[in-house]
Amino acid sequence: MARTQVVTGQVEDLHLVGLTKRFGTMTAVDALDLTIPAGSFFALLGPSGCGKTTTLRMVAGLEDPTEGAILIGEQDVTQLRPYQRPVNTVFQSYALFPHLDIFENVAFGLRRRGIKDVKKPVEDMLELVELGAMARRKPGQLSGGQQQRVAVARALINQPDVLLLDEPLGALDLKLRRQMQIELKRIQTEVGITFVHVTHDQEEAMTMADTVAVMNNGRIEQMGSPVDIYENPRTAFVANFLGQSNLLPGQVVGREDGVTVISAHNATFRIPTARVATDGDSVVVGVRPEKVTVRAKDRAGDLSGRNVLEGVVTDASFTGLSTQYLVRTAWGQELQVFSQNLSADDIVRLGDDVVVSWDPIHSFGLDGASDLHAGMDKELLALQSGDEPAQVG
């Protein structure tokens, strides 16, 4: 009995070892090596088509890996059928059984394992997701948010070692999504089961997860805490996909005292060497728009020890909380600057000659061979190239 009531023993880590999936010649998941710590809220973040669903389906046993292994703790589950794995899935579109009511949907897993007394656990679980009153409704009679919680309850009640969630909030509107993010986080903290949450929404991944793995083209680009990967992206893809970045290609001119000095466009930039992702001499200097301050050139003040660039303001949009500027450099690159509205003195205007500067500790250095547009929002990219005068054709 107790088997299902309590998470017995310790929850186990999930290991993916060289996990690969090919569909014909197309590699959907490419030699993934990943350890997901027991009890963590783990987010797999990446653009659509990067292989997130395929990865989850392999863990669930719904897709056979081409190569590699899946281990839960010490146990190799690669060859097990889905129903033999201590893993449950919250499907992308919930996949609730339309012919069963909410109670029976949630009880499904328990009944299949031959547990007779399902009333109490099901009611407790419905209580946890705040759907006690809906027990006898059919899924079709519930709203999207309610169906989503039933899907979570139906999976969670089995006390799996790992709960897989495939874009569980994708079908909900923005407000409900925010609400459910908090709700899911609460449930995860309460039950202590490992959650592997797949999403393409970087904000969702960052607000919910302890650990985020950024995935691109079937590979993990970077993994770490949300703060870590946001503050110190190691690839151009991560720098652009999580928030926005200004990227300047340059050459290393010196490395000393833990600081790498880079020259680009006749200016010199300093980056803590620990924040440079390459040993090569060609390095892309990166900085987040909100780390940059912008001042009118004639009142720039003391800039010693900072990384500095000059330019002209070509766009300024006031959003209340902050002002977003575009600053065009001498070589035509547009830098993004998010400036908090601290005092009216700071405000610079369209066409002003300005100095932008930032603390070197906020710089990061990427491999010089990076595609600077990797991971960029496609719409944003189109918008930027649209700045050029339109060609009549």
Partner 1 sequence: MPAVVPSAATAHGSDEATVRRSRRSTPYLLLAPGLGWLAVFFVVPLFASLATSLQVPLVEGDPDQGYTQGFAVQNYVNAITEYWPQFLKSFLYAGIATLLALCIAYPLAYFIAFHAGKWRNIMLILVVAPFFCSFLIRTYAWKTILADQSPVTQFLNALHLLPDDRILNTPLAVITGIAYNFLPFMTLPLYAALERIDFRLIEAGGDLYGSAWTTFRKVTFPLSLPGVVAGTLLTFIPAVGDFINAQLLGSVKDKMIGNVIDSQFRIVRDYPMASALSFLLMAATLTIVFLYIRRAGTDDLV
Ligand X SMILES: Nc1ncnc2c1ncn2[C@@H]1O[C@H](COP(=O)(O)OP(=O)(O)O)[C@@H](O)[C@H]1O
Which parts of this chain interact with Mg ion (CB under 5 A)?
Answer: 53
Examine residue 136 and tell whether it contacts partner 1 (CB under 8 A). no
13, 19, 52, 199: residue in contact with ligand X (rule CB under 6 A): 52
Contact indicator for 32, 20 with CB cutoff of 8 Å: yes
Q: Residue 193 is which amino acid?
A: I
Closest of 156, 135, 160, 157 to residue 146, by C-alpha: 135
Going by C-alpha positions, the residue among 113, 83, 88 that lies closest to residue 14 is 88
Tell me the sheet residues that pair with 312.
328, 353
Task: List Cβ neighbours of 54 (8 Å cut-off, separation of 6 or more).
Answer: 21, 28, 29, 63
Instruction: For partner 1, give the closer residue by CB, 46 or 160.
Output: 160
Residues 6+ apart with CB under 8 A from 285: 247, 248, 249, 250, 262, 264, 269, 271, 307, 363, 364, 365
116 binds partner 1, rule: CB under 8 A: no
Is 3 one of the binding residues for partner 1 (CB under 8 A)?
A: no
Which entry of partner 1, ligand X, Mg ion, none binds 18, CB below 5 to 8 A by partner kind?
Answer: none
Give me 386's structure tokens.
């649209």
137-196 binders of partner 1 (CB under 8 A): 154-155, 158
Residue 54 is a binding residue for ligand X (CB under 6 A): yes
Q: Which helix (H) or strand (E) segment is 216 a member of?
A: strand 211-216
Q: What does the DSSP 8-state code read for residue 91?
A: B
Site string for ligand X, 101-120 (x = CB under 6 A): --------------------
Residues 205-224 interacting with partner 1 (rule: CB under 8 A): none
Q: In the bound complex, what is the minimum distance in angstroms from residue 244's beta carbon to Mg ion?
A: 24
Binding to partner 1 by residue 65, rule CB under 8 A?
A: no
Rg of the chain (C-alpha set):
25
Could you say whether residue 28 binds ligand X (CB under 6 A)?
yes
Neighbours of 171 (CB within 10 A): 15
Q: Which does 199 bind (CB under 5 to 8 A by kind): ligand X, partner 1, Mg ion, none?
A: none
Give me the residue label for tokens 């419905």. 126
Residue with Cβ nearer ligand X (18 or 49): 49
CB of 164 vs partner 1, minimal distance in Å: 9
Q: Measured at CB, which residue is nearest to ligand X?
A: 53
364 lies in the binding site for partner 1 (CB under 8 A): no
Which partner in partner 1, Mg ion, ligand X, none is near 355 (CB below 5 to 8 A by kind)?
none
Name the token pair of 174.
């923005």
Task: Determine the Cα–Cα distance for residues 337 and 80; give it in Å rounded to an integer.
Answer: 52
Least Cβ distance, residue 82 to partner 1 (angstroms): 4
Does 23 bind ligand X (CB under 6 A)? Our answer is yes
Kindly tell me which of 200 and 295 has the beta carbon lying closer to ligand X: 200
- The answer to whether 120 and 128 have CB atoms below 8 angstroms apart is no
CA distance 252 to 115: 65
Binding site for partner 1 (CB under 8 A): 60-62, 81-83, 87-89, 91-93, 95, 97-99, 108-109, 112-113, 154-155, 158
Binding site for ligand X (CB under 6 A): 23, 28, 46, 48-54
